[in-house]
């Protein structure tokens, strides 16, 4: 019964990593544009 909870937590961590990556890419893009 713990499996869905762990899976959800893993998914949240993955989404957080993706958001951080997108944020960094956005910052780099702004730097290159300026």
Q: Give residue-wise pLDDT tens across range 4-26.
A: 899 999 999 999 999 999 998 88
DSSP 6-33: HHHHHHHHHHHHHHHHHHHHHHHHHHHH
What's residue 32's pLDDT? 67
12, 20, 30, 32 from 7: Cα distances, Å? 9, 20, 35, 37
What's residue 1's pLDDT? 56
User: At residue 30, does pLDDT exceed 80?
Assistant: no
Number of domains, the chain: 1
Q: What is the DSSP letter of 2?
A: -
What's residue 10's pLDDT? 96
Q: What's the domain range around 13?
A: 1-33
């Amino acid at each position: 019964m713990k499996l869905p909870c762990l899976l959800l937590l893993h998914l949240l961590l993955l989404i957080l990593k993706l958001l951080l990556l997108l944020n960094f890419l956005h910052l780099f893009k702004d730097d290159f544009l300026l």
